[in-house]
Amino acid sequence: MKNSIRAFAILVLLVANLCSFSQFSVGIGGGIFRNDGSGNDSQLGPQIQLNYNVNDNIRIGAHFGYYTNSSDFIGTKINFISMPISLSTEYAFMTDAISPYAGIDIGALKYGISSDGNSEFGDGMLNIAPKLGINYNISESWGVNLHGKYHFLLSDGKQYGALSFNLGLIKNF
């Protein structure tokens, strides 16, 4: 997990270094992540997104989520964790105050379990997540983002699926 966070931090610094401030945005929000067809409870957690506007319609960026839920198993609290870490591209269909968009995230999904202070993470899965969303620009500097993704998760020749929905604030620089 530390290597994933370290790699994401390095990626954030690289993206921030390449971006001019007039085209850079940071978003933070909360959301829900649910494995498709697994019967597991939904996981809740934060998401952080960093975007660079290539032009008025095209954005590229990096996204990081940390979703978790807890269960009690024979008197022991167990936390289930999903961490999608991805690079993103988005195309905005309009550039008005209300701006719908479509895009895709490509990266990894790390998953794990923690209990009694001990954590164990799997190797991760390839995560390809098409998404649809909408931005509402409150002002030049602030906006609200709502988006949904379907995650195609690939590991060891098997395919899994998951859904996520996120709502958050965006700060434009």
- Render pLDDT for 153-167 as a digit per residue (tens, 0 to 9): 998 888 989 999 999
Burial environment of residue 165 by CB neighbours within 10 A (0 to 12, 13 to 18, 19 or more): middle
What mean pLDDT, rounded, does the chain reach?
A: 87
Q: With cut-offs at 50, 70 and 90, classify the pLDDT of residue 20.
A: very low
Give the mean pLDDT of 115-133: 87
Q: Are 137 and 143 in contact (CB under 8 A)?
A: yes
Domains in the chain: boundaries = 2-172
Question: b or e along 7-31 (b: 16 or more beta carbons within 10 Å of the residue's beta carbon)?
Answer: ebeebbeebeeebeeeebbbbebeb
Domain 2-172 belongs to what architecture? Beta Barrel (2.40)
Radius of gyration of the chain from its Cα atoms, rounded to whole angstroms: 17
Q: Report which residue type is found at 27.
A: G
Which DSSP letter does residue 41 get? P
The encoded tokens of residue 125 equal 């899965």
Instruction: Taking residues 28-50, report their average pLDDT.
Output: 86
* Residues 12-39, mean pLDDT to the nearest whole number: 74
pLDDT tens string 76-123: 888 888 999 999 999 999 989 999 999 999 999 998 888 877 777 777
